[in-house]
Structure 1
Amino acid sequence: MTNHEANSLVIEGVSTAYDQANVLENVSLTAASGKITCLLGSNGSGKTTLIRSILGLTPPNRGSIRFGGVDLAGLPTHRVIAAGIACIPEGRRVFAKFTVEENLRIGAYQETSDAAVAQRLAHVYATFPRLSERRDQLAGTMSGGEQAMVSIGRGLMRAPKLLLIDEPSLGLAPILVRENFNIIRRINQQGITVFLVEQNVHQTLAISDYGYVLSKGRVVAAGEPSELGQTRQVHEAYFG
């Protein structure tokens, strides 16, 4: 297996149901190694269900989800994460009563080497100098933008090969959204594959290499950002 395949997420023919009702129907897409791939769609399109299916929280009834040559479909969540996948959940979800550093260390709970944890902490603090200054501050007392940094930093503490990012713009002021997306681009430039699930079309397409549009549980469009933004499917998915 090439390194390119090792860090690519390949989803083929995935269908996922809640209470016998299909939420995802025959979804196929690829998040290519070393790239930023986005999945656009309005609320209720099935985006979060797809993330849950990848993570093993809501296993698909049909189809395969491959990463590093391993089919993740049906694996428990801790095995999916151990394969080199980290998820930044929507809404940030920091541990409010823990300090910044305690929050970050939770991200490395599967790592047994103290030296590796220290190295990852140093890397996160270099990426987010503001967190370094506030490492002893309770995460719950920080601004929304700072909590977003804590959440992304916690994901980086896993030293992931693939980062799943769910709605990073949710609830943030426009200036913080721009800052967040710049951070995502910088993380990708460090060699981490990014699968970005978002509603914010313009900011997302501006940093993505390739994108898909999900509507009512189906992929209705795919392509380069420049062409995807012009498609009828994008306008219908959001405004129709």
Structure 2
Amino acid sequence: MSGKLMIENVYSAYDKADVLEGVSLTIEPGRVTCLLGSNGSGKTTLIRSILGLTPARSGRIMFDGVDIAALPTHKVVAAGIACIPEGRRVFPKFTVEENLRLGAYQETSASLIRSRMDEVYSLFPRLAERRTQLAGTMSGGEQAMVSIGRGLMRAPKLLLIDEPSLGLSPRFVKENFNIVRQINERGITVFLVEQNVHQTLAISHYGYVLSKGRVVAGGTPEELASRDEVKEAYFG
């Protein structure tokens, strides 16, 4: 199981105005790599470009040695990339179990789906207790668990997680970051896109800072925490 993602000199645009300008970064397999940046820095556009939703205008996006920059989204997902979108998008009128099953819609083996569901329930015992509850009646933190669990049902090599702390109480933020760490410990490569600097750096092996569509810094958590670019990207 690999999951290496290399983004090389990527330019992406909306209406001919570049949002990403020559972005290059590497997500090494087996690690948590973070992307820090304030609102409007281009983080969401980068995720959309990786997933083929906003195709890169130029540059390469290499996943396990294959250029996926021109692939449609369903083929990017089939290659082993899953995304947990910001905002905990669940199907509110479906139960927890039905939401999870939707994550494995490409699978045909009932035993494989069941074993993946058992893994999700071992990671989230609360979901196991509430498997028949409608997702829309759950708390924000519980919906975040459903959203992450649904992504894991695809058995991804690489998990893109967009703003997992958005709109959550401090207790659930801490719990969510612990879950991200556990997912990584199970061998899944994680690309964590966040604004919460302290919690993110605490669980990351390496990180980058994006500002106005450009990578302005890269390094270990210790290196990034001491960089002026981090302070500028957030407070400048």
- TM-score of the superposed pair, with normalisation by structure 2: 0.99
- Does residue 80 of structure 2 align to residue 88 of structure 1? no
Provide the residue aligned with 2:33 in structure 1. 37
Residue of 145, 150, 156 corresponding to 1:149: 145
Residue-by-residue CA offset, 1:10-55 (whole Å, 9 max, x unaligned):
1000000000100000000011000000000000000000000000
CA distance in 2 between counterparts of 1:54 and 1:110 reads 20
Residue-by-residue CA offset, 1:138-194 (whole Å, 9 max, x unaligned):
000000000000000000000001000000000001111000000000000000000
Provide the residue aligned with 1:203 in structure 2. 199
Provide the residue aligned with 1:27 in structure 2. 23
SS at match of 2:97: helix
- TM-score of the superposed pair, with normalisation by structure 1: 0.97
CA distance in 1 between counterparts of 2:167 and 2:174 reads 13
Give identity over the alignment, percent: 75
CA distance in 2 between counterparts of 1:69 and 1:117 reads 28
Residue of 53, 63, 76 corresponding to 2:72: 76
- Does residue 231 of structure 2 align to residue 235 of structure 1? yes
| Runs of 5+ consecutive residues of structure 1 not aligned to the other structure | none
Provide the residue aligned with 1:101 in structure 2. 97
Residue of 7, 12, 16 corresponding to 2:12: 16
- Code of the residue aligned with 2:139 in structure 1: it is S
SS at match of 2:207: strand
SS at match of 2:53: coil
- Does residue 130 of structure 2 align to residue 134 of structure 1? yes
1:229 Cα shift?
1.0
| Runs of 5+ consecutive residues of structure 2 not aligned to the other structure | none
Matches within 5 A, 1:187-226: 187-226=183-222
1:112 Cα shift?
1.1
1:230 Cα shift?
1.2
CA distance in 2 between counterparts of 1:143 and 1:106 reads 20
1:7 Cα shift?
1.7
- Code of the residue aligned with 2:195 in structure 1: it is Q
Provide the residue aligned with 1:168 in structure 2. 164
1:113 Cα shift?
0.8
Residue-by-residue CA offset, 1:56-109 (whole Å, 9 max, x unaligned):
000000110111211110100000000011000000100000000000000000
Give the CA RMSD over aligned residues.
Answer: 0.6
Provide the residue aligned with 2:113 in structure 1. 117
- Code of the residue aligned with 1:193 in structure 2: it is T
SS at match of 1:98: coil
SS at match of 2:173: helix
